[in-house]
Amino acid sequence: MTCALVSLNRGTLTDMDELDKEILKEIQDNFPLSSRPFKVLGEKFGRSEEEVEERIKKLKREKIISRLGASFASKKVGYESTLVAMKVPPPALEKIANFISCYPEVTHNYERGDDYNLWFTLIAPSKEEIKRILEEIKAKPEIEDVLNLPAINIFKIDVRFHFR
């Protein structure tokens, strides 16, 4: 398990002060495994638990970060995963991306500049559950095509954002 995953979004690093950057760096590298992680972070940075939590909420509201959560090796905990590519008409792209994001099994989605312009990862307890979810998604009339691309070989990389 990676302790925390920070997904950066469309915000800019210039919207963060140095403390925001230090907190995000710490979250990526050493997220406190505690019932009150923001308290632990606050103590580390000489701030209150409430201030740290509010800073993270603000970064989410401003869409500088889109997600903060654990990242597990899905196969090692008995889950299945797949990469999905969809062909969506550009006018419907944001609507469909928001629809996809409502599924808790979707870790993230992103736009690509190709015919298959919306991609996402899907993690579920079984291949049958993945199939069921993809059938629901395919039923949306705005979606032109869906490709289910399960991994043949898995390569894990350690992505870290460097905040300057």
CA distance 18 to 34: 24
Tell me the pTM. 0.66
Question: Which of 71, 106, 126 delimits the end of a domain?
Answer: 71
Residue range(s) defining the domain that contains residue 141: 78-149
What pLDDT, on the 0 to 100 scale, is given for residue 14?
A: 59
84-113 pLDDT, tens digit each: 999 999 999 999 998 998 899 998 889 999
Same domain, yes or no, for 82 and 145?
Answer: yes
Question: Which of 71, 97, 118 delimits the end of a domain?
Answer: 71
| Pair of tokens at residue 45 | 């940075």
Same domain, yes or no, for 51 and 33?
Answer: yes
CA distance 99 to 101: 5
Strands 118-124 and 80-87: antiparallel
118-136 pLDDT, tens digit each: 999 999 999 999 999 999 9
Task: Evaluate whether residue 120 is within a structural domain.
Answer: yes
- In our burial notation (b when 16+ CB lie closer than 10 A, e otherwise), range 122-153 reads bbbeeeeebeebbeebeeeeebeebeeeeeee
Question: Which of 15, 43, 71 delimits the end of a domain?
Answer: 71
Task: Evaluate whether residue 157 is within a structural domain.
Answer: no
Classified as helix, coil or strand, 113 is coil
54-87 pLDDT, tens digit each: 999 998 888 788 778 777 778 888 899 999 999 9
Q: Count CA within 13 A, CB hemisphere, residue 107.
A: 19
7-57 pLDDT, tens digit each: 444 445 556 899 999 999 999 888 999 999 999 999 999 999 999 999 999
Same domain, yes or no, for 143 and 82?
Answer: yes
| Number of domains making up the chain | 2
Task: Evaluate whether residue 15 is within a structural domain.
Answer: yes
Same domain, yes or no, for 88 and 144?
Answer: yes
CATH number at residue 27: 1.10.10.10
